[in-house]
């Protein structure tokens, strides 16, 4: 019985130590989340403005017709023959963040199966240790890998990564580029995002040709201007995906550590009840043995 009590005390101590760790990790994630959330909000404002300007220009392109644009970035999305698709996925470099990484991985696998069922070849490009490790372990090739960019988003590195994909697209090595990541929604929830990076087409349902404030005057360098704008648009969307993912990661880890801390507390209560019962049983047994010895001495 003494050994049992010792073992329960050891378990309680171990769980309490784990609880201290998870509580500390929750506080760290909460602090990091505030910074990442502020960064994501500022970046989202810029991204929205960039998208507005970009949509204004696309509205003008719509008026003229895509057939009058020589830029390879802008294509009619209808009736395209897609043979190869590149999927960029963003996961965390660390675990202990609930289903944050698994949600992205599952979506990538779903997209892969969907494209393969249509006879379309899929190539993966990965950002984040967890996603890369999963696909490498399962012997699925990852063309480009960056292991530390999702933890420390950097515009120049994100742009360099994106431009590799862009160059493959311009060289005809891929016909479409998607980016998949878990994005920040609010303090307690995340949302899975799948965005088409290339080609840049026109959504006739959302563009209003009469509201465009941007004027494109025909000249010999117009296509070069469109190319440069398209590059910046892709670069910033790549960078924003990293910031958005980082905020979502901290949010998910904060929740996971909060749940783990609460579960540890419940386990400590349960073990404490078990310890008290075992202790009472031990005391009762000792009293019975003492009384039995006293009776035997009479």
Angle (CA) 132 137 140, round 5°: 70
The candidate with the shortest Cα–Cα distance to 75, out of 66, 64, 65, 84, is 66
The candidate with the shortest Cα–Cα distance to 151, out of 246, 78, 63, 237, is 246
Q: What distance in Å separates the CA atoms of residue 179 and residue 86, rounded to the nearest whole number?
A: 9
Instruction: Quote the distance between the C-alpha of residue 123 and its chain's center.
Output: 19
Residues of the chain short of pLDDT 50, as ranges, are: 204-207, 209, 211-214, 218, 220
Give the model's pLDDT for residue 66.
52
Give the model's pLDDT for residue 220.
47
Angle (CA) 147 152 155, round 5°: 100
**What does the pLDDT look like over 208-267, one tens digit per residue?**
545 444 455 545 466 677 788 888 889 988 999 999 999 999 999 998 999 899 999 899
Name the pTM for this structure.
0.80
**Which H, E and C letters describe 264-298, residue by residue?**
HHHHHHHHHHHHHHHHHHHHHHHHHHHHHHHHHHC
The residue with tokens 């994630």 is 29
Copy the structure tokens of residue 166. Answer: 């862009």
């Amino acid at each position: 019985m003494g050994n049992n009590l010792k073992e329960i005390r050891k378990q309680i101590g171990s769980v309490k130590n784990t609880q201290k760790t998870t509580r500390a990790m929750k506080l760290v994630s909460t602090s990091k989340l505030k910074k990442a959330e502020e960064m994501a909000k500022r970046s989202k404002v810029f991204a929205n403005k960039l998208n507005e300007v970009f949509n204004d220009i696309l509205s003008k392109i719509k008026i003229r017709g895509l057939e009058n644009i020589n830029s390879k970035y802008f294509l009619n999305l209808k009736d395209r023959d897609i043979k190869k698709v590149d999927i960029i996925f963003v996961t965390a470099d660390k675990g202990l963040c609930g289903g944050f990484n698994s949600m992205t991985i599952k979506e990538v696998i779903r997209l892969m199966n969907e494209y393969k069922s249509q006879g379309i070849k899929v190539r993966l490009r990965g950002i984040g240790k967890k996603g890369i490790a999963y696909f490498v372990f399962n012997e699925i090739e990852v063309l480009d890998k960056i292991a530390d960019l999702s933890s420390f988003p950097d515009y120049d590195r994100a742009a360099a990564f994106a431009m590799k994909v862009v160059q493959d697209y311009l060289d005809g090595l891929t016909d479409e580029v998607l980016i998949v990541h878990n994005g920040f929604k609010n303090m307690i929830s995340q949302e899975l995002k799948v965005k088409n990076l290339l080609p840049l087409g026109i959504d006739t349902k959302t563009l209003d040709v009469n509201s465009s404030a941007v004027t494109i005057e025909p000249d010999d360098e117009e296509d070069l201007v469109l190319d440069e704008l398209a590059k910046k648009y892709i670069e910033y969307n790549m960078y924003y995906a990293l910031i958005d993912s980082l905020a979502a990661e901290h949010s998910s880890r904060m929740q996971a550590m909060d749940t783990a801390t609460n579960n540890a507390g419940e386990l400590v209560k349960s073990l404490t009840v078990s310890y008290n019962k075992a202790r009472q049983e031990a005391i009762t047994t000792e009293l019975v043995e003492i009384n039995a010895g006293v009776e035997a001495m009479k």
